[in-house]
Chain A
């Protein structure tokens, strides 16, 4: 009997999507690794330049080609497994990131049976109800909306749909009282005083900010940076503080700038540090919260009103140099503008920050939206989306500084406008610092 040659099993390359990228990727990796980590030969500038370009290119290649392997997991399932995976809902993702929550949620790990195990840091929940009293526990007791604890449940997007609740009255991460059957109890009102993620992040930013500033102040008290050049963190903050003093406070406030400088510096750095913290992935969106900006705007409004004098109100209710019929139109407009100007401060900061966050989330969601339609299109979208996201991230860093500066500058302008003395009282303004006579708006 003739035996055929033993057929050796042929290795069939399975090639799921991401392997197609690993092989050319590893060739690129190898070339760039040798180029980057090779020592600086005596070739001089041109070789170093090539190294730096290679390093940048390598970094960009990594950020473009590593994401298809991750993007694969989410885009493929389209709700066939029932409750284990739903279609990609961009609106829930966006509002889940931009609004407040009772936990720091980082990711969902998929278990073998298809369910999701969320990775998050729970935060304290503090509830007060006139009927039930105070309750204090960690939000992990809610198990992401599955269990009731002490007759309260936390709503998630799924449970709102399951219970058929009105989405306009109930939102995700809201804590509602339930009775014994698990139905919402309308007789109980609950006030949610929890330490949500916005509060915790704001407190963290506050602690870091106060710590840095006290450290800098101690250094100045010891004499470093006064007669010598400032070093370290002093050297980073001093130009900014001097910039606020010379270009924001002095031109607008004249010789009384020292009285308002603590407030202006505080509001600038507080907004700035909260903006920067909000840009880190996984953190909460503090400055894009209307409650936060409303409080900042109200405090500025209080400072503006507190520094207003008789001339300011005289100019509002009796604008000089206008015929009578114009005054009838102008006085309501001027009176309303007293309130509209802080409102504009509030909405400008809020809208800029929340719009930036929504743009970043939308660009990343594009990958998942396209993946849900067609896997290959999803993989092709990822370099483009990541490139746009990196670009928008740089703009958001600029916007973080810019919005803090604009809030501070406009507050200083409004305070200066409120403090304007009568223009016929020049004699008493002669003793000024740095030659600033009247508030001069740059």
Chain B
């Protein structure tokens, strides 16, 4: 029982924290990729709306990155 607790606390938790952070990076990649896809398609349909689309794309990307960074902070907490 004690061995398992010690192992879980010191060995498995940082490893799982790193795995969680990696999964968060996958989520961020997929999310921002979808934003980029939508933005590029919208620009292709209407090139004169370029500036508005670019502003909204950057804004939405920051919000999605925020969600991914929550998960990274939790991963960091698991490592420490």
Which among A347, A351, A352, A405 has the greatest number of chain B C-beta atoms within 10 A? Answer: A351
A171 (CB) vs chain B CBs: closest residue:
B80
Cα-based distance from A351 to B28 in the complex (angstroms): 14
B1 to chain A, nearest CB (A): 21
Q: Is B39 at the interface (CB under 8 A from chain A)?
A: no
Q: Could you tell me if A351 and B59 are in contact, using CB atoms closer than 8 angstroms?
A: no
Contact check: which of A168, A351, A398 meets B66 at CB < 8 Å? A351
A406–B59 CB distance below 8 A: yes
Minimum Cβ distance to chain A for residue B8 (Å)? 15
**Complex Cα–Cα for A168 and B59 (A):** 37
Residues in B neighbouring A406, C-beta threshold 8 A: 59, 62-63, 66
Please state if B66 and A352 are interface contacts (CB–CB under 8 Å).
yes
Name the interface residues of B27-80: CB closer than 8 Å to any CB of A: 58-59, 62-63, 65-66, 69-70, 72-73, 80
Decide yes or no: A352 and B65 within 8 Å by CB, A402-B58, A406-B59 being known contacts.
yes
Give the bracket for the number of chain B residues in contact with chain A.
10 to 19
Within 8 A of B (CB), among A387-410: 398-399, 402-403, 405-406, 409
> Whole-angstrom distance from the CB of B64 to the nearest CB of chain A?
11
Q: Are B62 and A351 in contact (CB under 8 A)?
A: no
Number of A residues with CB within 8 Å of any CB on chain B = 15
| CB-based contact B65/A347 at 8 Å | no
| Cα distance, A403 to B62, chains bound together (Å) | 8
**Of all chain A residues, which has the CB nearest B79?**
A91
Query: Interface residues of B: mostly helix, strand, loop or mixed?
Result: helix
Q: How far is the CB of A5 from chain B (nearest CB, A)?
A: 68
Q: Which residues of A contact B59 (CB under 8 A)?
A: 402, 405-406, 409
Cα-based distance from A409 to B63 in the complex (angstroms): 11
Closest B residue to A352 by beta carbon equals: B69
Complex-state Cα separation, A398 to B65, whole angstroms? 14
Inter-chain CA distance A402–B72, complex, in Å, is 19
Q: Is the CB of A344 within 8 A of B66?
A: yes
A351 is contacted by which of B63, B69, B80 (Cβ under 8 Å)? Answer: B69
Complex: A168 Cα to B79 Cα, angstroms: 11
A355 sits at the interface (CB 8 A): yes
Decide if B69 touches A347 in the complex (CB within 8 Å). yes
User: Are the C-beta atoms of B66 and A355 separated by less than 8 Å?
Assistant: no
Q: Quick one: which of A168, A355, A403, A409 contacts B72, CB cutoff 8 A?
A: A355
B13 to chain A: closest CB distance in Å?
12
Instruction: Determine the distance from Cα of A350 to Cα of B73 in the docked complex, in whole angstroms.
Output: 9
Q: Point out the residues of chain B lying under 8 angstroms from A405, CB to CB.
A: 59
Q: A347 near B62 (CB under 8 angstroms)? A: no
Q: Whole-angstrom distance from the CB of A290 to the nearest CB of chain B?
A: 9
Say yes or no: is A132 at the interface (Cβ < 8 Å to chain B).
no
For residue A348, CB closer than 8 A to chain B, the reply is yes
Question: CB < 8 Å: which of A355, A398, A409 contacts B69?
Answer: A355
Bound-state CA distance A406–B69 (Å) is 15
* A and B contact pairs by CB, cutoff 8 A, 11 listed: A350-B73, A351-B66, A351-B69, A351-B72, A352-B62, A355-B69, A399-B62, A403-B62, A405-B59, A406-B62, A406-B63
Chain A interface residues (CB < 8 Å from chain B): 168, 344, 347-348, 350-352, 355, 398-399, 402-403, 405-406, 409
Instruction: Sort A-B residue pairs by CB-CB distance and give the 7 closest, nearest first.
Output: A351-B69, A348-B66, A351-B73, A402-B62, A406-B62, A347-B70, A355-B69
